[in-house]
Structure 1
Amino acid sequence: MYKALANSSPRQLSEHLQSKNIQPITIYDRSYPDLLKQIPDPPAVLYASGLTDILDLPCRLSVVGTRDPSEAACNDIKQLLPDIIKANTVIVSGLARGIDALSHRLACEREGYTIAVLGFGHDHLYPKQLQPLYQEMLSSQLVISEYPPYMKAERWHFPERNRIISGLSMLTLIVEAKKKSGSLITADCALEQNRTVAALPGRIADTFAAGTNQLLSEGALPVFSSGDLLDELNLTQRL
């Protein structure tokens, strides 16, 4: 990242950010999320586009899962999240295919709030098929990245991005994950940050549930209803 920043002057970067309506939020700014400051390796800068006031909302739930979810997992999310969104909980995810995109869409459709955390700069959306969702979120939600806008996606950016997804919330929900997946990296980040991990139980024969079932066997919070999440978020009284 330092090499990339060295290739443009501060003035060039500032002009580019202004032209894209991207606001840099440093760790010293009032609007920088307090929860994110508490993680071991907080990003020095967040490049934010959209409604930055969403960062002021106190309650957030991070939701991550496979890029190729089962129909059952999609149905579970559609059943779980509406009550969470109704309780003014901000849904945080990674703007990836599958569970991430579905979680963002549900928040938009229910007129709630959601934050997308990118693993690349704003100039290089990946994957391209999420362009309509990205544009919608720019107008009514919030999209952030620790990477300057001209930085393309690199493989190692996504594990780095995951610590921000978990770091923005006290509770991270893992929906569907294989034994080796980016979602489990996010769960590990949450545990390292002393945050709570929740998971949806799955069938023992389902490879996409192997990771979540493993998390449950290691002590993750089992989720069978939105009430389980609301209880953990201390939001039941706000319904």
Structure 2
Amino acid sequence: MASDELASWLRLLLTPGVGNESARKLLATFGLPEDVFRQSPPALRAVVGPKPALALLTPPDDLDASLDRLLSWLAEAPDRHVLTLGDARFPPELLQMADPPLMLYVMGQLQVLHHPRRLAIVGSRNPTPQGEANARQFARALGQAGVCVVSGLALGVDGAAHEGALDADAPTIAVVGTGLDRVYPKRHLSLAHRIVVRGAIVSEYALGTPPLPANFPQRNRIIAGLSQGTLVVEAAVQSGSLITARLAAEQGRDVFAIPGSIHAPQSRGCHALIRQGAKLVESAQDILEELRTTAAPACASAAAASSKAASGPLSEPDHLLDAMGFDPVSLDTLQARTGLDTAHLQARLLELELNGQVSRMPGGLLQRLGQG
């Protein structure tokens, strides 16, 4: 895109009082941004009202600095892109949204935005150990079956989903709520670099935009819009993940949810979704069947092998695991259920923990993992 054309888009986005809705009205009425700025004050007022029309007559003070910053950022690497609504490379699914982004900043492999199979995996930033393992295992199996995983790069389920896709050497898309010249959370800096190599990081926010709380619910509509369906792994009843699921349903996309313990707050959002009509899933294959995708035999075999490996070998029944169940449990409760003395019980728990079959949780609780 030529710098003067890019400047016109930036000017439209940076004009005070002109949000996405007003900008879309202007573009629908007059055409490209440069055409908007050729209009007379009365013509602009007729579309957006007096105050925005007045603001459109003068370039914003920070326009030149913002343009220089963007051009420098684009020049630093060939895998950096800016897509506008008028760009043929703009994801067509986003054009069908009620509130599409006017501009997308992209780092990574642009072609993954047009991957034929895309599924969002979202959930709690503070998942249970089982929830985090589920996110990673589902993403790995789906990646091996040819699905591109879309998520939000947040801590917890999002990060595990990206990791699982990368474990399968599959592409993954991270939609973030900051400018692309920063990574949030910083803990995911290394993960972000890996995503850029194999997939893409996407944002509608200008360079330099900090992690403002209001941006994250807003970016969820892009996660839903880019995906053919949304899987919620764990979520509280009031959470951003349920916003993503609602947006997906409103756009006519499939919504999937993994059930969990009736005692876990992180499961209540998924249970609410299932009551509202979301599809209950227990395996990646459940999702593939709903999406009417058929994995190649090699991919299906790989996914089955991965699932078998992840489950871990159990040569004989483990009565301690049976006594734990799948809900968090205290040491005292477990001792009462098993009748084991403290020393023996602690030794067995340590063995199971080292095998990845049990995880210790806050408050001294223990939880059996699906691998066990």
Q: Distance in 2 between matches of 1:38 and 1:192?
A: 11
Q: What are the Cα deviations for residues 217-237 of structure 1, in whole angstroms up to 9, with x where unaligned?
A: 111011111111001221125
Q: Which residue of 1 aligns with 2:71?
A: 15
Q: Which residue of 2 aligns with 1:61?
A: 119
Give 5+ residue unaligned stretches, structure 2: 1-12, 17-58, 301-372
Q: Which residue of 2 aligns with 1:42?
A: 100
Q: Distance in 1 between matches of 2:76 and 2:279?
A: 40
Q: How far did 1:70 drift? A: 0.8
Verify the 8 A CA contact 1:107 1:113 in the aligned structure 2.
Answer: yes
Q: What are the Cα deviations for residues 65-91 of structure 1, in whole angstroms up to 9, with x where unaligned?
A: 001111111232333232311122110
Distance 1:82 1:136, change over 3 A: closer
Q: How far did 1:136 drift? A: 1.6
Verify the 8 A CA contact 1:227 1:236 in the aligned structure 2.
Answer: no
Q: Does 1:200 align with 2:250?
A: no
Identify the match of residue 269 of structure 2 among 203, 208, 211.
Answer: 211
**What amino acid is the match of 2:100?**
P
Q: Distance in 1 between matches of 2:295 and 2:75?
A: 43
Local SS of the residue matching 1:236: coil
Q: Point out the structure with the larger helix share.
A: 2
Q: What are the Cα deviations for residues 132-167 of structure 1, in whole angstroms up to 9, with x where unaligned?
A: 111222223210100112111211100110000000
Q: Judge which range, 126-135 or 27-36, deviates more.
A: 27-36
Q: What are the Cα deviations for residues 92-119 of structure 1, in whole angstroms up to 9, with x where unaligned?
A: 0000001101111111121101000010
**What amino acid is the match of 2:73?**
L
Q: Which residue of 1 aligns with 2:324?
A: none
Q: Does 1:120 align with 2:132?
A: no
Report the TM-score when normalising by structure 2.
0.61
Q: Which residue of 2 aligns with 1:144?
A: 202
Structure 1 segments of 4 or more deviating over 3 A?
A: 3-6
Q: Which residue of 2 aligns with 1:27?
A: 85
Q: Distance in 2 between matches of 1:147 and 1:78?
A: 28
Identify the match of residue 135 of structure 2 among 77, 95, 113.
Answer: 77
**Structure number with larger C-alpha Rg:** 2
Give 5+ residue unaligned stretches, structure 1: none
Equivalent pairs, count:
239
Report the TM-score when normalising by structure 1.
0.93
Percent identity over the alignment is 36
Q: How far did 1:187 drift? A: 1.1
